[in-house]
Chains A and B, each alone.
Chain A
């Protein structure tokens, strides 16, 4: 049963894109993911309009003081299990805006982050790689259990 659930979760991650004060560089790379050249629908990724439908929150931008509250609320509106991916140098640690008076600096200061994808902006391949690594980490505990089992038998 858990295997089927994990399979379904890995095969159908629906994403929500949130811009918390980015310069639009990373956002264009996120949009490039969905367009014909990279087409992440191959992996079952769909861009959803509502946070209630999403599994993965793709955040870009350095998180301005005004946006922090909204980012937190959007995160709280998503149903469990939920994952957050910080895309770009700004979302990872504030980037060039770190230390600015109006900026929190980094998504992980507001909400928990599961995967960091650095770059200014990161290439679409890098974003796909990050999301795939995040999803593969879901399968990890099950794989470990199997290893333990085989060890026990030996």
Chain B
């Protein structure tokens, strides 16, 4: 009985759903604040202390608005795609060791890195479906762009995620985290830099944000959404950003590893994990604000001409080092 209650508590409250919900809103607030400060603005200031409740206010407001379903849309896909995208991403987050172990206890299995990477693809495909089903020219263009971009950048992302797997000698996320007594960012910095750039493309953030380029395609695949469905679509995007940063944290920065000074190890683990996620989010937000948007043809060219060969090279280099050089040291 206690075991079941503990499971429910873990999944619904502490490292699970509620915690992830507030972590996502916190990260969204950090992003908006950094973006505003870099543009010499104040950013959200009056919703709670320093505007920290702004994402919560946006979310509640969208939930209480009218929901419009266009007549020509594929109704079921249109309704369920945002919800599924959101839940798939939260489910994927549950496999990452946020406080030292995965959110669902004992969920870790051999090769769950591949499973988690596959879940990102599913979530991206659901975002594509959300645009495709809304029967709006702008949504369709946005959806097609989502697919074009993600087909290109999924392969380098996976190749780059294999670098930590080779260094740890395992495809299990828990083992990868445990074997990082030196974080892999030190052992394979080239893979880390490439992974951050590819993740930026995978998350549709600024140098690569053509799927919802406001000056070209209105709001891309989100154009026809309103009310609660829009709330979940926007939230899915924020969860995706947190998920991407968590994946980088787990693969390269040692996840929840860190010094424990006093008290519970799980709390310190969570603290280190959240701090590392925030650092990654700050880096990626700096890139978002600093760089201008590329065109779709430039993105496809950049991917197949540069990112794919570079990621193969990085993988070969990492394998060489992991097999011949690092065991000697």
Contacts and interface: CB of A to CB of B under 8 A. Distances in A.
- What band does the interface of chain A fall in when counting residues whose beta carbon is under 8 Å from B? 20 to 34
Contacts of B75: none
A7 B67 CA distance: 20
Interface stretch (B57-65, B171-179, B305-313): B57-65
A8 B43 contact: no
Contacts of A140: none
B214 A49 contact: yes
Interface in A54-87: 55, 77, 79-81
B18 interface: no
Chain B interface, >50% SS class: loop
Contacts of A48: 219
Contacts of B227: 79
Contacts of B39: 36
B303 interface: no
A5 B64 CA distance: 7
Nearest to A51: B226
Contact of B223 (A11, A52, A81): A52
Contact of A39 (B41, B61, B219, B225): B41
A15 to B, nearest CB: 13
B230 A41 contact: no
A89 to B, nearest CB: 29
Interface of B: 32, 36, 39-47, 51, 53-54, 56-61, 64-68, 214, 218-219, 222-227, 230
Interface of A: 4-5, 7-9, 11-12, 35-36, 39, 41-44, 48-50, 52-53, 55, 77, 79-81
